Structure 1
Amino acid sequence: MHNINYDKFDIKLGNTLTEPHFRDEKPFDAIVSNPPYSVKWIGSDDPTLINDERFAPAGVLAPKSKADFAFVLHALNYLSAKGRAAIVCFPGIFYRGGAEQKIRQYLVDNNYVETVISLAPNLFFGTTIAVNILVLSKHKTGYQSSVY
């Protein structure tokens, strides 16, 4: 995000999952997101969501009790072919099973995961959780694995 003037940013407040903004302005070259960790969402209670362009490619919805991957898929959908997204994530999304495992597999199979950066605990105000930054990209060529 270096050398990007602040007037290039347009920040909105709202529920990204049920009332997404910027549909007419997408795709974006840079997305930075720090969504709430493991919040509940409507998920499978709304049968139309599985056909939503943000979630349909994964073939499964994030669990109703943990919307983490719904935010990840939302960001991925808004990302341009040459863009990059950095999403602060609760560590659980990297090891929980069920629908989250299927979404992880979708991200890996389609080569969208550029890297995962693990941060130390106590970096964020109000929580001691050691979080991760999931970096997504649609323009990777070949398989690249990085560990930091």
Structure 2
Amino acid sequence: MNMFLHNINYDKFDIALGNTLMEPQFGDDKPFDAIVSNPPYSVKWAGSDDPTLINDERFAPAGVLAPKSKADFAFILHALSYLSAKGRAAIVSFPGIFYRGGAEQKIRQYLVDNNYVDAVIALAPNLFFGTSIAVNILVLSKTQTQYPNSIY
């Protein structure tokens, strides 16, 4: 929509319809230098019901799958796997991903230990139509910063 409003013709970009987690698109085009994503918050997904997913190159590095009841980190790991070494991803996320335990805690630890988190930006509530919840923007990068393991 944003590109249309800024008069960027449709022949300049590709859009695919489908389930990003189960049938990823654009694999032949990766890696990407910029990824912007606003995935659905805390939706259900196959997770551990599909034993092949733990070996999927998008999820395997974390060593654990996002819970079946909350796919937030599955979308985040998907974006990270498509990111180039010099790229940056900005992902709008539900605040729960920063405090829930279990598999999500392990994935958070993986992201921090590997210095992928550049920033967490807290946004005010009521910014998105149809919901009053406050959301965050998780900024990821594969480039090591000068101050590893420091998040401000």
Aligned pairs, number: 143
Shift in Å, 1:13: 1.9
Alignment of 1:76-87 (within 5 A): 76-87=80-91
Whole-angstrom distance in 2 between the partners of 1:78 and 1:96: 25
| Coordinate RMSD, CA, aligned | 1.5
Residue in structure 2 matching 1:100, options 100, 104, 128: 104
Q: Which amino acid aligns with 1:60?
A: V
Q: Which amino acid aligns with 2:100?
A: R
Residue in structure 2 matching 1:13, options 10, 13, 17: 17
Q: Could you state the TM-score of these two structures normalised by the residue count of structure 1? A: 0.92
Gaps of 5+ in 2: 1-6
Shift in Å, 1:122: 0.3
Gaps of 5+ in 1: none
Q: Report the structure number with the largest CA radius of gyration.
A: 2
Q: Is the Cα–Cα contact under 8 Å of residues 30 and 83 in structure 1 kept in the other structure?
A: yes
Residue in structure 2 matching 1:27, options 11, 25, 31: 31
Q: Is the Cα–Cα contact under 8 Å of residues 60 and 99 in structure 1 kept in the other structure?
A: yes
Kindly indicate whether residue 143 of structure 2 is the aligned counterpart of residue 117 of structure 1.
Answer: no
Shift in Å, 1:27: 0.2
Q: Is the Cα–Cα contact under 8 Å of residues 122 and 128 in structure 1 kept in the other structure?
A: yes
Identity of aligned residues (%): 85
Q: What residue in structure 2 maps to residue 54 of structure 1?
A: 58
Shift in Å, 1:132: 0.2
Q: Is the Cα–Cα contact under 8 Å of residues 117 and 151 in structure 2 kept in the other structure?
A: no
